[in-house]
Structure 1
Amino acid sequence: MNAVIERSKGKVRFAFKDSIKSLEQNKKKLSLIYLHFTFGKDKFKYSSGYKSCFDDWDFKKQRIKIKNSILNKDEVNTHLNDLEQFIYDEYRNLSQEYDNVPKHLLKYALDVKTNKIKAHNTKDKSTMAFFDVINEFLEIKEGEVSKITLKSYKQTKKRLEEYQKHYNETLMFQFIDMSFYNKFNRFMEANNYSLNTIGKHIKTTKTFLNYALIEGYSDNQRFKSDDFKIKKETTTEIYLTDDEIQQMHELDLSKYPDLEHARDVFLIGCYTGQRISDYNGLKPEDIVSIDGYKCFKIRQKKNRKYSRTVHCPITKEIEEIMSKRYNGNPPKKIIEQDLNENIKQVGQMLEWNDLIKCEFTKGGVFQTEMIVKYDLIKSHTARRSFCTNKYKAGMSIFDIMLFSGHTTEKEFYKYIRIKNQERASHIIKSGFFNV
């Protein structure tokens, strides 16, 4: 005898929100009626929107009793019947697409049916899926933002795709809420991401959601809640003093051309205060003259739409680097990963072996680690060193920001790495106190 094994359609029951015991003690007390749907190992519940009491409820049939005193009994029972049949039909349809039907899709279907939300078609054109909207956003931003920023956007998209696959969910704008926020955070913690990396991905996710809202793909604004926060912490970042920069400048690396090249590019960053995207790969045509002084004319690349052009003086140290080894031209561009690896080795050769206490949160766990100083040097250390050293030397923040690209003093103070007493000394020397 042949047989067909059918996919389980699940089981529906209706029950009160409050316990039967409490309702039995007060048989006239109204309690919300919930639909409970069990499918496989999963359970799902949904409010019917109606209330009843112990005396008016048929516990065997799980419906309102047929009593003349209950005027809307037929309306409520018809609604419960509709919900039951609808959830069975919706589950059957979704089970053809998913091995494990996501709960949030069942909820979405019920929300649309009960008019709690509108179907996800807020634009006149056909509805676009979550990642289709993100792809549209990325296409618009390409050429408008720097390659580094675009790469960061794409990394967040990849994390969201990984999240979707891990939880077997279909991300939809209507379901971005605190439940998603908490799960996405836990997912990234489980993958051992640092707190600041997680914060970066949350920030970019909010950028995606804001774009969808502005463009009419979504009307969900729950991501604007204060609880949907971008977590971040101040990490341990070093800067090189003027003396250390001079030591690096004077180090003979003629026997190590790769190290020499990385060192020279890095030093130009220290002397100009630019991001690596701006100080790495300068060309002869970037050299201009202003009132008899040679400068690099640099169009900062962080945000091409709002980028600005700065003129960084070519110092005697830069002039020496270019004339000695590059025929008067800036050093050629170097791969950032190679620069980071090689500049650490240069620091090791200079015996910068002090242990630095580094505190950070990774994988959701606060950690403390002692790291040797040379291992903390990276491409961004150059710009941080410029800003910190110029500040300590008494240059006004306004003038430093002219080169660094910081737009607010608040951001500048978070960026530089000086102790409170050094900042106090700087303020005292600025002439604001009668000392």
Structure 2
Amino acid sequence: MPRTKQSFRLNPRFSLDNNKANVVFLISSRLFPGGRFSYALGIPAKPSEWDTSKGKFRVGKTFPMGERRNKMLNRILSKVREVTEKADGSPINKEVLRRELDKLLGRIPTLVEKDFFDFYNSEIEINRKSWKTGSIKALKTTFNQLKKFEKETNYFISFATINLDFHAKFTNWLNAQNYAKNYVGKQIRNIRTILNMAEDLNYPVNPDFHKKSFKVLREESDNVYLTTDELNQLKEFQYDDPSHERCRDLFLFLCNTALRISDAKRINESHVFDDYIMIKAIKTYQNVTIPLNREAKRILGKYDNNLPSFADQYFNRLLKVICRAAGIDKSVTITKTKGGMRVDAVKKKWELVSSHTGRRSFATNRFLEKMPIQEIMAYTGHKTESVFRQYVKADQLTVIREMTKMTS
């Protein structure tokens, strides 16, 4: 007769060894000889940092390392499940599991040169539920670029070889493909993110990525905003297509509240109060309270406090169509670095608008209207005045404001 597969319930838990101020991993299960497995993680913890009822680290501003350490605990649980699944109901050798956990924590040398890509992929999978979709997509793009770079240049990529020489060769390779400077910088930033995670887990990363020379390339973007006259022009235009009208109204709502589209399209009657809206921002996980002006109230009333919703890419494409139809066609010179060269391009303003133009239009127009900067920042969520001033190009706008005053 075929052997019937047995299933045993695991009861894994983490606890704090107060005597040694160390976190211990415990399992009570018949899968282990003696019915118990204990493993000291070597992760230091004070009693105040440990949530005994939940068996994990506390998180929040007071406990900045809590979230990262809890991710490590989740990795340990994933490894235990992997080992028990392979055992297929048979008793588990404690030393086998102990060795696997030692490998996971970097206590024994297990990494070969090619493990960089394995680690990269595993981090994406482990964090898939907690990371934003956009972050995962960006990291996958960088992963694919690294693979392509390795194949085309025969540069062997590993933890040890991601050094200053790699930085120079990889950025030159991206520049040769005519990528924008900010795109190149984003790839370096993503690589540094993965290396920081690997270093936290005791992988043998090359320390060069901490050096200033291993820099993230970046340049100020020439982002456009719509003036109050252009916004009125857009508002007054009559659209035959109802979807164009809904797109216009959602965009005008962004221009009057400084909300991100990811938040605005989630608004329903539960977020709307008499003179303000309150919603938790997806990007920052912070509750934001936004006062409503007359135009924002008008748009909310038109849709019974349930704003139109569009897929982001479709919204950005449609926004260009409706702005072009409304005559938002002022010529704008855009300067950016592509392929390592500064390039000027003349574009019509409708070609450059996106959902983010709403936030920028709100901030810029309010600044030109002399609304106090701190009040504008309450809408936009900027933490410091210096960052806000850079965001709206305040020095340039101050000149414009003064020139307007002189000619009026």
Using the size of structure 2 for normalisation, the TM-score is: 0.67
Unaligned runs of 5+ in 2: 1-104
Number of the residue aligned with 2:101: none
Q: Does 1:313 align with 2:291?
A: yes
Deviation at 1:424, TM superposition (A): 8.8
Number of the residue aligned with 2:118: 132
Picking from 382, 389, 414, the partner of 2:365 is 389
Matched letter for residue 288 of structure 2: V
How much is the aligned-residue C-alpha RMSD, in angstroms?
2.5
Q: Does 1:340 align with 2:308?
A: no
Matched letter for residue 361 of structure 1: T
Q: Does 1:161 align with 2:137?
A: no
Picking from 236, 255, 259, the partner of 1:270 is 255
Q: Note the 1:265-414 alignment, pairs <5 A.
A: 265-287=250-272, 289=273, 293-303=274-284, 307-324=285-302, 326=303, 328-414=304-390
Number of the residue aligned with 1:415: 391
Given the superposition, is the C-alpha separation of residues 368 and 198 from structure 1 closer, same or farther in structure 2, using an over 3 Å criterion?
Answer: same
Q: Is the 8 A contact 1:295 1:313 kept in 2?
A: yes
Q: Is the 8 A contact 2:186 2:216 kept in 1?
A: yes
Q: Is the 8 A contact 1:359 1:366 kept in 2?
A: yes
Deviation at 1:270, TM superposition (A): 0.9
Deviation at 1:158, TM superposition (A): 2.2
In the TM superposition, structure 1's runs of 4+ consecutive aligned residues that sit over 6 Å from their partners are: none
Q: Is the 8 A contact 1:237 1:417 kept in 2?
A: no
Given the superposition, is the C-alpha separation of residues 142 and 312 from structure 1 closer, same or farther in structure 2, using an over 3 Å criterion?
Answer: farther
Number of the residue aligned with 1:21: none
Deviation at 1:160, TM superposition (A): 1.7
Unaligned runs of 5+ in 1: 1-120, 430-435
Alignment deviations for residues 215-242 of structure 1 (CA, whole Å, 9 cap, x no partner): 2112421011111111111222111122
Once the two structures are overlaid, the 10-residue window that deviates more, 278-287 or 258-267, is: 278-287
Q: Is the 8 A contact 1:213 1:220 kept in 2?
A: no
Deviation at 1:125, TM superposition (A): 6.9
Deviation at 1:369, TM superposition (A): 1.0
What is the alpha-carbon distance in structure 1 between the residues aligned to residue 399 and residue 335 of structure 2?
A: 22
What is the alpha-carbon distance in structure 1 between the residues aligned to residue 400 and residue 321 of structure 2?
A: 34
Deviation at 1:308, TM superposition (A): 0.7
Percent identity (aligned):
31
Given the superposition, is the C-alpha separation of residues 410 and 145 from structure 1 closer, same or farther in structure 2, using an over 3 Å criterion?
Answer: farther
- For the pair shown, the structure with the greater C-alpha radius of gyration is 1
Given the superposition, is the C-alpha separation of residues 143 and 402 from structure 1 closer, same or farther in structure 2, using an over 3 Å criterion?
Answer: farther
Corresponding pairs, count: 298
Given the superposition, is the C-alpha separation of residues 408 and 141 from structure 1 closer, same or farther in structure 2, using an over 3 Å criterion?
Answer: farther
SS at match of 2:278: strand
Q: Note the 1:22-421 alignment, pairs <5 A.
A: 122-124=106-108, 126-127=110-111, 129-253=115-239, 255-287=240-272, 289=273, 293-303=274-284, 307-324=285-302, 326=303, 328-418=304-394, 420=396
Given the superposition, is the C-alpha separation of residues 125 and 174 from structure 1 closer, same or farther in structure 2, using an over 3 Å criterion?
Answer: closer
Deviation at 1:354, TM superposition (A): 1.9
Deviation at 1:199, TM superposition (A): 0.7
Matched letter for residue 299 of structure 1: K
